[in-house]
Amino acid sequence: MTNRMIERILGSVGIVMDFLFAILGAILIVVVNLGIGWFGDSINTVEWGFVSNILYIVNNLFWLPVLSCVVSFILGLIAVVKVKRNAKLAGGLFIASAAISSWLLFTGVAFQSILYLIAGIMCFIRKNEDEAGVRV
């Protein structure tokens, strides 16, 4: 069996980034909910009905990136654990994690999907000892 240290490192960095983004997203949701509660008493719903509806929709949409980070975190964690035993399965899980978190690239801050994609491709391309005959 190969060591696959590069895939582990790339996957671990992606996992840490997913975890941090999920925690920061959850904190942001709590702060926005508290902010809406603070302004709820002072906003006249007749005058600010449209704005309060927009805030409600945006608040509910904040859960999408948090949930995608959690799912990507779980898949990445399983892939890092399985990379030494079954590289093909880990590669598929890395690529699935990259696909789930890829839309976060549009925010300009999250590049963990690129790390997952590189690790997944490396899992498929690199040969194991028993396949290549030489330790890679």
Q: Of 25, 41, 35, whose CA–CA distance to 55 is shortest?
A: 35
Rg (CA), the chain: 20
Task: Give exposure, 48-86, as e/b (b: 16+ Cβ within 10 Å).
Answer: eeeebeebeeeeeeeeebbebbbbbbebbbbbbebbbee
pLDDT grade for 46, boundaries at 50, 70 and 90: low
pLDDT at residue 47 in the model: 59
Query: Structural domain tally of the chain?
Result: 1
Question: Which residue range forms the structural domain that includes residue 125?
Answer: 2-132
Instruction: Mention every residue, 6+ apart, whose C-beta is less than 8 A from residue 83.
Output: 4, 7, 8, 11, 90, 119, 123
Q: Return the pLDDT at 13.
A: 94
Q: Per residue in 54-106, pLDDT tens?
A: 777 777 777 888 888 899 999 999 999 999 889 999 999 999 999 998 877 77
Residue 103: count of CB within 10 angstroms of its CB = 13
Structure tokens at 48: 């600010």
How high is the pLDDT of residue 38? 54
Average pLDDT over residues 96-121: 84
Residue 17 has pLDDT above 80, yes or no: yes
Rounded to 10°, the helix 63-82/87-101 angle is 170
Residue 79 identity (one-letter amino acid): A
* pTM, two decimal places: 0.77
Q: What is the mean pLDDT of residues 1-17?
A: 87
pLDDT of residue 130: 56
Q: Which tens digits make up the pLDDT trace of 25-44?
A: 888 888 777 765 555 555 55
